[in-house]
Amino acid sequence: MPKKKKTTNKSQWKNAAWEGRFSEAADRDAAAFTTSFAFDRVLFPYDIQGSIVHTEGLARAGLLTASEKRSLISGLKKIDKEMRAETEAGLANRMLVDEDIHMHIERRLVEKIGAVGGKLHTGRSRNDQVALDLRLYLRDETKRTLEMIDLLQRSLVLRAEAEIETCLPGYTHLQRAQPVSLAHHLLAYFEMLERDFGRFEDSLVRLDESPLGAGALAGNSFGIDRMANARALGFSTVTANSIDTVCDRDFVIEYLGASATLMMHLSRWAEDWILWASTEFGFIELPDRLSTGSSMMPQKKNPDILELIRGKTGRVYGNLMRLLTLLKGLPLSYNRDLQEDKEALFDTVETVKSSLWMMLRLTNEVEFKRARMEAAANEGLLLATDLADYLVTQGLPFRQAHRVVGKIVAQSIKTGQAIQEWTLPTFQGFSPLFKADLYDRLTLKGALQKKGGIGGTATRSIKSALRKIKKRW
C-alpha cells in the first residue's frame, strides 16, 4: 500500500497582502483552494490599464510625486509586456505563486521598482479593482461579439440575395406546410441575430459606469477624482453607490443572458441544417473540411460542428444559471463567492465567439441543393392553403373554403393524384367557384408571389426587406 504524502502548512505564496494580521502562513491546501490566478490571469491587460489610470489619479490627488508616478507607470508597462510575451510563449500559468492577477501584478511591480510599488494600492481595494477589470474586459468582448454577429448577418444577406428564386418547403410541426423562398428562410435567422445584436448593444449602456474609487465597499478616503479616472478609462460616468458597486454582477448576467438567447438561436439554426444535411432531406451539402467522418463507417459524413453548437448551448445556459444561483443569496456587499463568476463568464465568451465563427464559416461555404429543395416543395399538398385562399377571393368564407379544400386533399391522397394534375371539372365537382385562373395559383412561383405583404415570402417582399436591412448598415 503506497504511503500517504506528508502534508505541510507551507504557504503557496510568501507575501500575502494581509500577512500583518495573521500569526501563521496560509495553509498550502487553503491557498490552492482560494487562488484564482489560473483563470483570472486573462484580465491582466485590464488590470494594468486600470492601475495606470489609478496611478495618474493618485498623482492628481497629491499622493504621488511626479517621479513616483513615472516609476509606477513604467513598471506597469514592463509587466504588461512581460505577461503578453508569456501568453504568446504558452507560459501563462507555469507558476501559481500568487493568489490572483491583482496580487501578481503588485508583487512583480515591487520586484521591479522597489517599495514605491506598494503605493499603487492606495485608495483602492481588490473589490473595486476586479469590478473594473471585469467591466473593461466585458466591454471589449461585447464589442467583439457584436462585430461577429454583424459578420454573420452580412453573410446571411449575401447568401439570401443569391437565393431569392430558390423554393423549398416551409415547415410547421416538422411537417411540410407551405412553399417559401430560401432567401426568406435565411432572413429569418438574420432577424433572430438582429434581436441578439440589440440585446448585446443595449448591455453596453449599463456597462458604461466606472467602479474605480468605490474601495472595499465605502469609497476612498483620499479625494481621488472618480470622474477624471472614469473618463480616462473611456466611461461616461461612475457608479452611484459604493456598496452596490463592489457586489454588482448584473452586467455579467446581462452578457450571459444575451449569450444564452443567441446560442438558442444558433442551436435552432444548427438543428435545421443538421436535418437538411441528412439523406432524408438532402437540402444542403456541408464542405468536407468542415465535417467529420466515422471511425467505423466509411460512408459517413457528419455535421459535428453543427451538433457541437447545439450541444454548447446547454453549456452557456448552465453558466447563466450558475451565476444567478451564485448571486441569489449573497448579503451586501462583497463576498468571496464572487470569485466564481469569472470562469462562467470567460467560458461563455469563448464559446459564443467560437460558435459564431464556425457558423459564419458554414454559412459562407454551405452548398444549397436547389433542385432537391424545389422537388420537395412540389411534392405533397403544399399548395392546399393557396386553394383555400383562391376560394376566399371568389367570395367563400375561409372556414367553408378550408372544409372544401380538406375534402380535395382527402381525395388527392386517396387517388394518389397530385392536385396540379386535376382537370378544372374535377375541381368544380367540389365547388363551382373554381375557375380557369385557378391554375395560376397552383405553381410554386404563383403561390410565392401572392405572399407580397411586409414580411412575406414574395420576391418583392424579400427585396424590400433586403433594402431595409442594407439601410441599417
* Active centre residues (catalytic): 173, 294
DSSP secondary structure, 61-86, as one string: TTSS-HHHHHHHHHHHHHHHHHHHHH
Beta strands in 61-173 (DSSP E): 167-172
The set of residues, in sequence order, having a beta carbon less than 8 Å from that of 363 and lying 6+ positions away, is: 152, 155, 156, 159
Exposed e or buried b per residue across 187-214, where buried means at least 16 C-beta atoms within 10 angstroms of its C-beta: bbbbebbeebbeebeebbeebebbbbbb
Q: At what angle do helices 250-276 and 182-207 cross, to 10 degrees?
A: 170
Whether residue 80 contacts residue 44, with contact meaning beta carbons closer than 8 Å, is answered with yes
Closest CA to 445 of 372, 389, 386: 386
Return d(Cα 323, Cα 321) in angstroms, integer.
5
Q: Which amino acid is at 7?
A: T
Q: Which amino acid is at 85?
A: A
Return d(Cα 429, Cα 408) in angstroms, integer.
10
Whether residue 374 contacts residue 166, with contact meaning beta carbons closer than 8 Å, is answered with yes
**Grid coordinates of 263:** 446560442
DSSP 3-state of 289: helix
Alpha carbon distances (Å) from 186 to 160, 291, 348, 364, 373: 6, 21, 26, 12, 14
Return d(Cα 407, Cα 393) in angstroms, integer.
19
Query: How many residues are there in the chain?
Result: 473
Long-range contacts of 326-329 (CB under 8 A, 24+ apart): 327/249, 327/253
